[in-house]
Amino acid sequence: MPGRNNASNKFAFSSYIVGTTLGDGCNYTSIQTAINDLFAAGGGVVLIRPGTYTENLTLRSRVDLFGASVDGRVPIGIGQVEIVGNHTFSSLGPFAIVIATNIGFSTLAGDAFVLSAGVGNTAILAMQDCGLTATTDPASRAFVLNPVMGGSVQFSADNSQINSSSHNFEVIGAGSSGVFFQFGTLSSSTGDTFAVSAGTGSIQLLRCTANGDRIVSEAGGSAGATFSYVETFSSNEAVFFGTNPGTLSAFHSTIQSNAASGFFIDGVAGTIGYENIVLTGTATGISGTITPNVFDWKPYGTTTSVGVNRYNPLDFTVTAATGEVNLIASAASSFPTDSGTALPAAGVLNILGGPGVTTSAAGNTITVNSVIWSNAAAPVTVLSDSGTFDVVGVTITLPAAPVQGEECRVISVASPTVIQAAGVQTIQLGNVVSSAGGTCTGTDVGDSVVLVYFVAFDRWYSAATNGNWILA
């Protein structure tokens, strides 16, 4: 087998080494020949030394490609190994995978890669620290994903750059296609980052930048996308669901769009779920046929233009002069409670206290109190759910129209303290009941009572007493 006496391969990483010339440890000048031999031997890694190689590769499962330095030990930067051509990878079994590391790929014309899979088969191509350029031909696509019905192709890239004249990824097969891309850059000069024309396509972008006519475009099949910590720049709608319902989940991302349609997200049907995203550019909103779902209750920036709404208009309005944010009444924002749900009307949510509870507001603060206490220095009619310190010995009249469970509390700081029932109300201490409209009098300093209203009998019942109280 070629390469078994490779003295320059110091770490014995692989005995299949490709160089631009034979000798000094290089056993191949053709990458494809090295791939074929290693596949026949059961698989492994083909080391490729710096240089430019013009070949149309047919990738084989379990045969990985690694751009290496002269001695095969140290990874090198993108661009020192450049493979020029049109490449294919097709699964020949249930599961096929190829990994490429530290390699630059380019094509002079046509598509750079075509990935395909048969029924019940999966083909996976993974790249790490790689680059791909397909820009010399206006129709060049970086990756064509073409699985048949029942087949699946997947592409993943870590810390890589992909540039193309047309689409970065186009799904044309009736099967399932997936792309996972992180820590890199995707760029298309005239096409879309991810275009789906058949089958099922999904793209996940993590901590990367994507540029294109559209970031996700659905012309057939169905499309799904997830953006996390992503910056996107599109000359049209950022996402367009053209024929079938699609889904977009966006988290902590910036989406810039200059869509002529006026929408960041557009199409016949679909759903966008988002949290902490910024929509910026000349587009102004989300198409009415796209259903928005806010994952978190916060205002989200929609534009950087002065005087234009900086928050999602589906949920908030903003006063341009002051920057004040108001919740729109029609927004699907609700406030569930222990019993029932409140939906703001006309931008206002009423916060009221139930029996034994009062609320008050000042500025941007809402205060919830069980009882509000005050001093009585003259005869007074008190409110429900109140507490009163009698500081001079006066008559305290109970509320005229209390409701079930409301209460009044009285403490005598000076005596005598007279509690007057309103109208035909009565007051009951223990088993003794006053006359209709009667009184309850405390004779000593420090006397106190807690009265709770029972509506069926129009009566105030003592829930707690201290000292001497006389009913009349």
- Burial class for 166, CB neighbours closer than 10 Å (0-12, 13-18, 19+): buried
Average model confidence (pLDDT) for the chain? 86
Token representation of residue 369: 């109190």
The per-residue pLDDT for range 250-268, each reduced to its tens digit, is 999 999 998 877 788 888 8
Residue among 215, 227, 282 at smallest CA distance from 254 = 227
* Opening angle at CA 258, ends 254 and 264, nearest 5: 55
Q: What is the mean pLDDT of residues 233-251?
A: 91
Task: Look at strands 432-433 and 426-429 and give their pairing.
Answer: antiparallel
Distance CA(322)–CA(330), nearest Å, equals 22
Residue 385 has which token pair? 């759910």
CA distance readout (Å), 298 to 275, 295, 301: 8, 9, 10
> Which of 120-124, 243-247, 434-438 is the least confident region?
243-247
pLDDT tens column, 321-377? 555 555 554 444 567 777 778 777 766 778 887 776 778 888 878 888 778 899 999
What pLDDT shows up at residue 8?
47
Bond into 416 cis (ω within 30): yes
- The dihedral formed by the CA atoms of 380, 428, 355 and 338, expressed in degrees to the nearest 10: 170
For 374, the token pair is: 């005050």
Count Cα neighbours of 266 within 13 Å in the Cβ-side half-sphere: 19
Tens digit of each residue's pLDDT (9 = 90 or more) over 409-451: 999 999 899 999 999 999 999 999 999 999 999 999 999 999 9
DSSP characters over 71-136: TS-SB--TTSEEEES-EEEE-SSSEEEEEEES-EEE-SSS-SEEEEE-TT-EEEEEEES-EEEE-S
> Would you place residue 382 in the very low, low, confident or very high pLDDT band (cuts 50, 70, 90)?
very high
Residue in this structure with the two tokens 């005239």, named with its chain if needed: 190
- pLDDT > 60? residue 203: yes
Q: Report the phi/psi class of residue 135: left, alpha or beta, with left for phi > 0 and alpha for psi in -120 to 50.
A: alpha
Question: What average pLDDT does range 142-167 have in this prediction?
Answer: 95
Give the pLDDT confidence score for residue 261 in this predicted structure: 75
The domain locations on the chain are 17-336, 375-471
Q: Between residues 218 and 296, which one has the greater pLDDT? A: 218
Question: The tokens of 377 are what?
Answer: 């220095």
Lowest pLDDT segment from 39-43, 52-56, 133-137: 133-137
Cα→Cα distances 3→18, 71, 138, 229, Å: 10, 14, 41, 45
Q: Quick one: average pLDDT of 289-296?
A: 68
Residues 6+ apart with CB under 8 A from 150: 118, 119, 120, 175
Q: How confident is the model at residue 17 (pLDDT cuts 50, 70, 90)?
A: very high
Rg (CA), the chain: 38
Higher pLDDT, 89 or 267: 89
**154-175 average pLDDT score:** 95
Pairing state between β 104-106 and 131-134: parallel
pLDDT-above-70 percentage for the chain? 85
Give the global pTM. 0.61
Summary count for the chain: helices (H), strands (E): 1, 50
Range among 8-22, 294-308, 315-329, 352-366 with highest mean pLDDT value: 352-366
CA distance 188 to 135: 9
Other Cβ atoms within 10 Å of 246 Cβ, number: 28
Torsion of CA 420, 424, 427, 432, to 10 degrees: 130
Query: Fold for domain 375-471?
Result: Jelly Rolls (2.60.120)
181-200 residues labelled b (16+ CB within 10 A) or e (exposed): bbebbbbbeebbbbbbbbbb
Fold of 17-336: Pectate Lyase C-like (2.160.20)
Question: Tokens at residue 209, please?
Answer: 């930048």
Strand pairing of 316-318 and 325-327?
Answer: antiparallel
Residue 233 clears pLDDT 70, i.e. is over it: yes
Q: What is the dihedral of CA 234, 85, 152, 217, to 10 degrees?
A: 20
Return the pLDDT at 79: 56
